Chains A and B, each alone.
Chain A
Amino acid sequence: MTGLDLAFAATGLVTAAAAALAVTTRQVVHSALWLVVALLGLAGCYLVLGAELVALVQLLVYVGAVVVLIIVALMLTRAPIGPRAEHSTGPAHRVLAACVGAGTGGLVAAVLLPTATRAQVRPAGSEELARQIFSTWVWPFELLSLLLLAALVGAFAVSGLTTSDASGEGTR
């Protein structure tokens, strides 16, 4: 057991604990804040595995932008302080959700665990990562961008910002 193993186990535990708290807390903004801790823990895992660029992008994109968006959305809706009971679900729902969660978790574990052997961690630098993204994985990468663009255009169409109503109200 080396220091790196210990660090990996610690960041993994922090991530898992924060993720569990994020889905079990009764306060919706606390849930978003626990998500921040979980994402930071995940960035720590990447860092321990020697993928510092992935860790930094995780920090920049997820903590810096995605979580801020989630918190803005929460502020725009009613996000009261203190635990709320009205969005809480009944026991049947919880059992069902636990079953689905355990099933998905079991499936992922069944696929991934047999492949888990002691592998040498190759600390690949930013250059190697960039080469991989822009050569081997360039098509999936670009297709994902296209998918996001399509979603953006779709959101515009759904929200009705493109149709100009007669009074001119609501359009700018």
Chain B
Amino acid sequence: MSLLEISLRSLAALAAVLVLPLVAGQAEHKVMAHMQGRLGPMYAGGFHGWAQLVADGVKFVQKEDITPAAADRSVFRIAPAVALIPYVIAIALLPIHPGLSAAEVPGSVLLVLAVIGVGVLGTLMAGWASANKYALVGGMRSAAQLLAYELPLVLSVASVAMAAGTLSLAGVVEAWSPWWLLWQLPGALVFLVAATAELQRVPFDAPIADSEVVMGPWTEYTGLRFAFFMLAEYAGMVVMGLLFGILWLGGWQGPFADQLGWLWTLLKGALIVLLIIWIRVSWPRMREDQLQRLAWTVLVPLALAQLALTAGGVVMTA
């Protein structure tokens, strides 16, 4: 692989992280608005307010970059980068089209899970380094939640990897067949719930609940650093949506997969992102103890049952 190809692939991954979250964010603006009988942004850019998030970005750039006097300066400043960079790596690993992903790695299923786990550290660093009570409470809530939901997330993905007999995302797509929709359904539901919790989106947004802890770990952030946290959240939505599409919905598989594979992957990912937005509009926030009970008494047993079911299926058909 030449240097030119490496830089091209890296640039493609970076562009995906800068563009796809904006598309998801704009979709959220408009879909939420229409579900609630509103119009949403209508003016920026002319056509149905398509440039609203670009305008927001320009606004964020102009804001003053403030570090609180009592904060731990260096940790406070690098926390947004720690939150965002893992998603750049994760998006680079996702296979979009047969034989096409920005970076091909043999154990990509594990690597995606591992880097998503690293991204969690950014929230914790922000919560601690802000020297703010709300930020600290939010950081602790977020840590407790992320620890609880990491396990069902990994278990449900492990079930798919077992069914496919490979740790490569592209290999999972190759092995996928439509009857997985039924066979892997419990695991898929567990992943969807755990991924929503991992992204700290409604109904699992207790760590950043603005009516309780202001903005949680992000309370003291402003300007570009705050925008980076927002970008990380939406990039996370895109990564989780695409990952769900690749692992449970067969990724690029569909009619004319050789030509239109990329389209199927993106459509399946977009469907899941829409579902996550729909969930946000429909459910109230869960309390901290309800969060923990759901994770440990429902999701973990369900994921383990799915693992047993998958093992049974693999042994029977082998």
- Measured CB to CB, the residues of A under 8 A from B are 27, 29-30, 33, 36, 52-53, 56-57, 59-60, 63-65, 67-69, 71-72, 74-76, 79, 81-82, 125-126
Interface range, B side = 20 to 34
Residue of A nearest to B73 (CB): A81
One of B16-24, B116-124, B298-306 contacting the partner: B116-124
**With known contacts A68-B121, A71-B143, A72-B147, A60–B154 Cβ distance under 8 A:** yes
Residue of B nearest to A53 (CB): B107
* Chain B contacts for A53, CB-based, 8 A: 107, 110, 167
Assess whether B128 is interfacial by the CB under 8 Å rule: yes
**With known contacts A59-B118, A60-B114, A60-B154, A126–B75 Cβ distance under 8 A:** no
Residue of A nearest to B125 (CB): A33
Q: B110 near A56 (CB under 8 angstroms)?
A: yes
Distance in Å: Cβ of B243 to nearest Cβ of chain A? 15
Q: B117 near A56 (CB under 8 angstroms)?
A: no
Q: State the main secondary structure of chain A at its contact with B.
A: helix
Q: B107 near A126 (CB under 8 angstroms)?
A: yes
Distance in Å: Cβ of A82 to nearest Cβ of chain B? 8
Which of B72, B105, B113, B150 has most chain A Cβ within 10 Å?
B72
**With known contacts A75-B136, A75-B140, A64–B75 Cβ distance under 8 A:** no
- Measured CB to CB, the residues of B under 8 A from A are 70-72, 75, 105-107, 110-111, 113-115, 117-118, 120-121, 124-125, 127-129, 131, 136, 139-140, 143-144, 146-147, 150, 154, 167
Q: B129 near A60 (CB under 8 angstroms)?
A: no
Q: 10 shortest A-B CB distances, which residue pairs?
A: A64-B117, A59-B114, A56-B110, A60-B114, A72-B143, A81-B72, A71-B124, A56-B114, A75-B140, A81-B131
Bound Cα distance A65, B124 (Å) = 12
Q: A68 near B110 (CB under 8 angstroms)?
A: no
Q: B114 near A75 (CB under 8 angstroms)?
A: no
Bound Cα distance A71, B142 (Å) = 12
Option from A59, A75, A81 in Cβ contact (under 8 Å) with B70: A81
* Chain B contacts for A82, CB-based, 8 A: 72
Option from B71, B75, B144 in Cβ contact (under 8 Å) with A72: B144
Distance in Å: Cβ of A53 to nearest Cβ of chain B? 6
* Chain A contacts for B114, CB-based, 8 A: 56, 59-60, 63-64
Residue of B nearest to A63 (CB): B118
